[in-house]
């Protein structure tokens, strides 16, 4: 199905029954909604599961300028309205963590809880050195040949062959120009002034072999700063932890939802 957004059609899928609690899964940068196939299979009998492709990813409209995470949060709610869902649990990976936090701030009554995979809090400014390195990455990425850039990215972010193959397939389908517009948008998101954090219950997760390694420290500090938050390091997993170790991730997600 397609949601007709201000930037063009946005692809989404709905699984399960509308009389069940809703979960919306938002993918990471350079990926698409297929990264949650294992979660869909495991949760669709007990929940209404929605997956979608952000602009420039998968089957959605291409990017014509930097990805706008605020607009993506608005589109998330547009999809919910079209499906007829008032409230949801929002699961996001990497870039999806930024989108979901902005959604939770904009309409806190519509987000029951947040589940983060390999992301960072939007109300904490990025370390100046990390921000400098991120900015320095952009011109370097433009110089890399597409095949080498995508191979290196997939190898750094995953630990299993299946997840690695999926990442490379997603990146090549996206193309280098769209990938760079996504990265520019992610950099923009890192510099947005956000005075407060969302107040919903949260579960913070990351892979044991998370890249960059600073995300591990950042996630632990995030957990320590939020009373009542749930924290898990996912064994034998990288940045795409829900794909590298889906059995572990699905179990902790079910436990978290049950505890709400």
pLDDT digits 0-9 by tens, 65-100: 999 999 999 999 999 999 999 999 999 999 999 999
pLDDT at residue number 254: 98
pLDDT at residue number 64: 96
Q: Domain ranges in the chain? A: 2-259
User: pLDDT tens digits, residue range 98-133?
Assistant: 999 999 999 999 999 999 999 999 998 877 777 777
| Alpha-carbon span 38 to 153, nearest angstrom | 22
Assess whether pLDDT exceeds 90 at residue 19.
yes
pLDDT at residue number 191: 84
Pick the CATH number of 2-259 from 3.40.50.1820, 3.40.50.720, 2.60.120.200, 3.30.360.10: 3.40.50.1820
What is the band of 183 on the pLDDT scale with cuts at 50, 70, 90? Answer: very high
130: tokens are 């990390």
31 neighbors 167 (Cβ within 8 angstroms):
yes
Predicted TM-score (pTM) above 0.95? yes
- Report the percent of the chain where pLDDT is more than 90: 87
105: tokens are 């701030």
pLDDT at residue number 7: 97
The average pLDDT across 58-63 equals 98
**b/e string for 86-116 if b means 16 or more Cβ within 10 A?**
eebbbbbbbbbbbbbbbbbbeeeebbbbbbb
pLDDT at residue number 149: 93
Q: Omega into 132 within 30° of 0, i.e. cis?
A: no
User: pLDDT tens digits, residue range 129-170?
Assistant: 777 777 777 777 888 899 999 999 999 999 999 999 999 999
170 neighbors 58 (Cβ within 8 angstroms):
yes
Assess whether pLDDT exceeds 90 at residue 256.
yes
| Alpha-carbon span 75 to 38, nearest angstrom | 24
Give the CA radius of gyration of the chain.
Answer: 17
167 neighbors 158 (Cβ within 8 angstroms):
yes
| Alpha-carbon span 90 to 97, nearest angstrom | 9
pLDDT at residue number 157: 96
pLDDT at residue number 134: 72
Averaged pLDDT score across all residues of the chain: 95
- Which H, E and C letters describe the chain, residue by residue? CEEEECCEEEEEEEECCCCCCEEEEECCCCCCHHHHHHHHHHHCCCCEEEEECCCCCCCCCCCCCCCCHHHHHHHHHHHHHHHCCCCEEEEEECHHHHHHHHHHHHCHHHEEEEEEECCCCCCCCCCHHHHHHHHHHHHHHHHCCHHHHHHHHHHHHCCCHHHHHHHHHHHHHHCHHHHHHHHHHHHHHHCCCCCCCCCCCEEEEEECCCCCCHHHHHHHHHHHHCCCCEEEEECCCCCCHHHHCHHHHHHHHHHHHHHC
The average pLDDT across 202-223 equals 95
Half-sphere exposure of 139 (CA within 13 A, CB side): 4
């Amino acid at each position: 199905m397609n949601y007709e957004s201000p930037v063009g059609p946005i692809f989404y899928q709905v699984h399960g029954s509308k009389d069940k609690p809703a979960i919306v899964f938002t993918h990471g940068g350079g990926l698409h909604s297929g990264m949650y196939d294992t979660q869909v299979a495991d949760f669709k009998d007990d929940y209404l599961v929605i997956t979608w492709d952000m602009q420039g990813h998968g089957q959605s409209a291409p990017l014509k300028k930097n990805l706008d995470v605020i607009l993506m949060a608005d589109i998330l709610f547009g999809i919910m309205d079209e499906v007829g869902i008032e409230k949801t649990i929002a699961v996001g990976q990497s870039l999806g963590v930024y989108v979901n936090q902005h959604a939770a701030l904009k309409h806190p009554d519509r987000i029951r809880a947040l589940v983060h995979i390999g992301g960072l809090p939007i109300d904490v400014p990025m370390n100046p050195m990390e921000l400098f390195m991120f900015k320095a990455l952009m011109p370097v990425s433009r110089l890399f040949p597409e095949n080498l850039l995508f191979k290196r990215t997939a190898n750094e972010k995953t630990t299993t062959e299946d997840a690695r193959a999926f990442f490379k397939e997603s990146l090549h389908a996206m193309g280098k120009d769209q990938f760079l517009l996504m990265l520019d948008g992610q950099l923009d998101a890192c510099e947005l002034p956000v005075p407060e954090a969302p107040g919903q219950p949260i579960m913070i997760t990351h892979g044991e072999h998370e890249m960059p390694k600073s995300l591990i420290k950042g996630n632990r500090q995030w957990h320590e700063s939020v009373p009542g938050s749930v924290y898990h390091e996912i064994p034998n997993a990288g940045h795409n932890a829900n794909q590298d170790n889906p059995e572990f991730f699905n179990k902790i997600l079910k436990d978290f939802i049950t505890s709400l």
